Amino acid sequence: MELLTGKLRHYPWGSRELIAQLRGDQEASDRPEAELWFGAHPGGSATVGDAALVDVIAADPAGQLGERVRARFGDELPFLLKILAAAEPLSLQAHPTPEQAADGFQRENALGIDLAADNRNYKDANHKPELIVALTEFEAMAGFRPLAKTLELFDRLGSTEVERYLAMLDRSPEREAADLRVLFTTWITIPGGSRSTLIDDIVASAAQQLADPQLPDWMREELSNVVELHNRYPNDVGVLGALLLNKFTLQPGEGLYLDAGELHAYVSGLGVEIMANSDNVLRGGLTSKHVDVPELVRVLRFESLADPRVIPERNGDCLHFPTPIDEFTLRQCVLGSAVPVEHDGPVIVLVTDGTAELTCDDQQLTVPAGTAAWVPATDGTVTLQPTGATVFIATV
C-alpha cells in the first residue's frame, strides 16, 4: 500500500480552478488542468514513489494484479481512473468496441502512424466503456435522444432549414435507428456553405423559442446548449450533432455510463471517471484535435438512449455504481464509519474531499485530497478509517 500520484493532463477545455480547488490550492492553475490520471496507461502512467505504475506492474504482475485479474486481462491493469475537470465542452466523440479497437490499432500500426501523431485515432487495442460520477454539478450530452422526442423539439423549433431534411425520414418506430443514421450522417458531412445556412437558421429559431416563457424546461436546456455551443464553436458540425443528443445535468453523486459506440460530449463540471484502460477516441466536432468523421460513423450505434444515468446501490456509507462490464467496479464512500476493503486484485483509493487514513496489516497511510493509494493484490484487507473523507474505491 503506497501513495499514488496522478499524471496531470493539460487540454484546452480543462479548468484552471476545479482540480486546484480539490487539492486545496488557494490559487488557480496558470494553465488548464483537464484530467488527472490514476492508472497505468502507457500514454500517462501515475507514479508510485519515483516509479511509473506501469513499470511497477510490469516488474511483478502476479503480486500487483493477482492471478484472477491476470487470467482474465493479462499483465496490465484493466482500468483507468481519472479526475476530469471541464470548463469548456469536450469533443463530440464515441469509443470503439474491443474488436474495432484491435482492428483500428493494427491498421494504423501497419500504416506507420506514430502513436503520438495528431492524426492517430487508436492509441491502443482496447475498448473504452466509461462511467463518470459528478463531484460538482456536471453537464453532459449523452446518447441519441429518442427520435419522437427530437421531432417534437424540431416542431417547436420551427426551423425551415431543418424541415428540408426531415423529408428523408421514414418516421416509423421500427426504422428509428435508420432515421437517426440518415439524419446524423447527412448533417455531419454536408458542405460548409450548406452547414452554415442550416446552423444559422437553427440558432436564430432557437433564440426566438428561448424568449418564450412557455417553452418546456427540457427544450430550454437543449436549445440553450445548442446556442452556447455555436457561440463557442461557430458553425461547427458538432452543433448539429448536439441537436440530436440527450442533455443531462448531473448533481453531485449521480453517475452516467456510456458503452462503445454511444455518441457523447461532456460539457462542464468536475467528476471522477473510470474506464477500461484505453485512450481511443473517435471525434466528430467541437474540437481543435483530429476529427475523423468516417471512422466515427463506422463505430457509432444509432439506437436511441433514453437515459444512461446509473442508479447507485447504497451499502452503509458507500454507493456502488453498477455497470455491465468486467474491467472495473467503482464505489463512492463518505467515511462516517470504518470501511473494510477485501480484495484479491489491485485497488485504487482516490480521495476527493478531506484526508483518508488507511490501515493494512501493520501499515498506515495518510492520503490527502487529490491523491490516491495503490493497493497491490497481495496486500491484506485495507480498512478506511472514519475520518469523514470522501473516497472512490476502484477495483476489478
Known binding-site positions for Zn(2+) = 93, 95, 130, 264
Q: Calculate helix-pair angle for 217-232, 192-210, nearest 10 degrees.
A: 140
Q: Which of 195, 283, 301, 331 is catalytic?
A: 283
**Positive/negative CA dihedral, 166, 168, 170, 176:** negative
Active site residue 283: yes
CA distances from 257 to 128, 141, 280 (A): 11, 12, 17
DSSP-assigned states of every residue in 150-188:
HHHHHHHH--HHHHHHHTT----GGGHHHHHHHHHHHHH
Q: Using CB atoms within 10 Å of the CB of residue 169, give its burial: 0 to 12 exposed, 13 to 18 middle, 19+ buried.
A: middle
Residues that constitute the known binding site: 93, 95, 130, 264
- Give the sign of the dihedral formed by CA 40, CA 43, CA 44, CA 45: positive
Q: Distance between CA atoms of 264 and 111, rounded to whole angstroms?
A: 28
Query: Between vectors from CA 70 to CA 69 and to CA 74, what angle results, nearest 5°?
Result: 120
DSSP letter at 14 equals B
Closest Cα partner for 190 from 215, 165, 167, 172? Answer: 165
Pairing of strands 130-134, 7-9: unpaired
Residue at grid coordinates 485504487: 348
Main-chain phi, psi angles of 222, to 5 degrees: -65, -45
- Residues 94, 90: Cα–Cα separation, whole Å: 12
Q: What is the dihedral of CA 102, 120, 82, 327, to 10 degrees?
A: 0
Q: Which three cell numbers stand for residue 71?
A: 487470467
Q: Hey, what amino acid is at 17?
A: E
Q: Which amino acid is at 79?
A: F
Residue bearing cell 455551443: 229
Report, as residue numbers or ranges, the catalytic residues: 283
